Structure 1
Amino acid sequence: MTDPVISLKNATVTVGNQTEILKGLNLDIYPGDFITVLGTNGAGKSTLFNTISGDLELSAGSVFHQGKDITKVPAVKRTSFIARVFQDPKVGTAPRMTVAENLLLAEKRGSKRTLRNRRLTAEKLDHYRELTAKMGNNLEDRLQTAAGSLSGGQRQALSFLMAIQVKPGLLLLDEHTAALDPKTSAQLMDATNHQVVDNHLTALMITHNLADALTYGNRLIVLNAGNVVLDVAGADKDALTEENLLEYFVH
């Protein structure tokens, strides 16, 4: 069997002296998994992502990357194999830089970022135009526009493309469509799915949209009180309904 990209073993996060946010959570993420993540507020979704990214230390347990213990590896070093897109479209892009410059900067993910010797050649611009055209929101026409002048949907699409500019070992999508209007959210979700599937990315996506959780991805997990209470894939996932999932949100 293929080894996991990321494994969490008995992952525990305790706040203060007694409040456990993650409670001995175990999760294996395999190459090519596109996992939708559901859970009520306070279930541990963001804490799970922060633990994987290295932004939050475990109180107990371990995190492994391709079998190597990275529990003590800081977040900045994990950026060489983990990329993340946040809910806020303003996060993840440099507002005064153009779309093309942001994409060029993203090619430095995991290494020291600098604008020295940056070269926006005609060949690169053609590549960026082709890349952005796949997002379906006319971003390809705004390559020379400052990111801060984009619409929310275009800026979030740019954040997403920056995250996958250098293929990450794991892509964390942290409610990346939640701040957008329904039409723009659906458009970005469709583009996200195509990019993840076509590029064989491994991804976790937090969502509160039950329909999206059922429609996208090959695997679905539900968190409750700091642990995984449902983990389904394949035919078992296909058989789920929104009514099934709602049962996990009843207290």
Structure 2
Amino acid sequence: MTKPVISLQNVVVTVGQGTQILKGINFDISPGDFITVLGTNGAGKSTLFNAIAGDLAVSEGKILHNDKDITHHSAVERTKMIGRVFQDPKMGTAPRMSVAENLLLSEKRGQRRTLRPRGLSNAKLAEYRKITATMGNNLEDRLQTPTGSLSGGQRQALSFLMATRVKPELLLLDEHTAALDPKTSEQLMHATNEQVTGNHLTALMITHNLSDALKYGNRLIVLNAGEIILDVRDEEKKNLSEDKLLKYFAI
């Protein structure tokens, strides 16, 4: 049996005066899983991501990476194996650096960044032009443009490319299309699916879009009040409908 990339064992996250946000989560993420994550506001979705990424301390339980206990590893240590794209297109990129410079910087994920990304070679620019063209939003024509001057969709596409430039062992997509208009969101979701499935990435994706949750990925989980109340995969997931999913939001 293939061992999990990440395993959460009885994970509890408590904040404030003893408020439990995650309540004894047991959850294995297998290599190649593309898991869509649903839940109402306050269900614990972002807390789950923050606990996995090391941005939030675990109060009880363990987090394992390839059977190694990383519960107390810092977020910086975990960047060596985790890529993340946030909801806000402004996060994850350096606004004053060009698109090409941001991509070059992303190749140093998990390493000491003593790099001064200036004077990119023609070969490197050609490589980046090919990569950015896969996003379908003309990002390849803006390689020398400061990232802060990009549209929201282009900047989010760049964030996605940066998170996957060095293949992560786990990719966290934290509502990465939520701030985009419907057309741009659909475009980025198509590109996301192509990259995740084509490069055999292991990914978790938070979404509030039931259609996307059903359409993409091989597995789906629903969180409610800090607990996983549904975890389905493959054929069982394919047999779900939006109406059936909505019942879990009425609990």
The verdict on a shared fold, with TM-score over 0.5 as the criterion, is yes
User: SS in structure 2 opposite 1:7?
Assistant: strand
Q: Which residue does 2:150 correspond to in 1?
A: 150
1:107 is displaced (CA, Å) by 0.3
Deviations 1:46-87 (A, max 9, x none): 000000000000100000000000001000000000011000
AA aligned opposite 2:246:
L
**Using the alignment, how far apart are the partners of 2:68 and 2:235 within structure 1?**
31
Determine if contact 2:21/2:47 at 8 Å carries over to the other structure. yes
Aligned AA (1:43): A
Q: Measure the CA separation in 2 of the matches of 1:44 and 1:133.
A: 35
**238-247 or 15-24, larger mean C-alpha shift:** 15-24
Q: Please name the residue that 1:127 is paired with.
A: 127
* Equivalence for 1:48: 48
> What is the CA deviation profile of residues 192-248 of structure 1, one whole-angstrom value per residue up to 9, with x for unaligned ones?
000001111000000000000000000000001111110000100000000011001
Corresponding residue pairs, total: 251
| Matching of residues 71-110 of structure 1 within 5 Å | 71-110=71-110
1:204 aligns with: 204
3-state SS of paired residue (1:38): strand
Letter in 2 for 1:178: A
Partner of 1:39: 39
Instruction: Give the match for residue 69 of structure 2.
Output: 69
- Opposite residue 172 of structure 2, the aligned amino acid is L
Q: Could you list the runs of 4 or more consecutive aligned residues of structure 1 that deviate by over 3 angstroms after TM superposition?
A: none
CA distance in 2, matches of 1:125, 1:76: 29
Q: Return 5+ residue gaps in structure 1 as ranges.
A: none
Residue matched to 2:241? 241
**Equivalent pairs: percent with the same residue?**
73
Supply the AA of the counterpart residue of 1:247.
K
- How far did residue 118 of structure 1 move? 5.0
For 1:8 and 1:143, how far apart are their aligned partners in 2? 40
The SS at the match of 1:97 is coil
Structure 2 alignment gaps of length 5 or more: none
RMSD in angstroms over aligned alpha carbons?
A: 0.9
Aligned to 2:60: 60
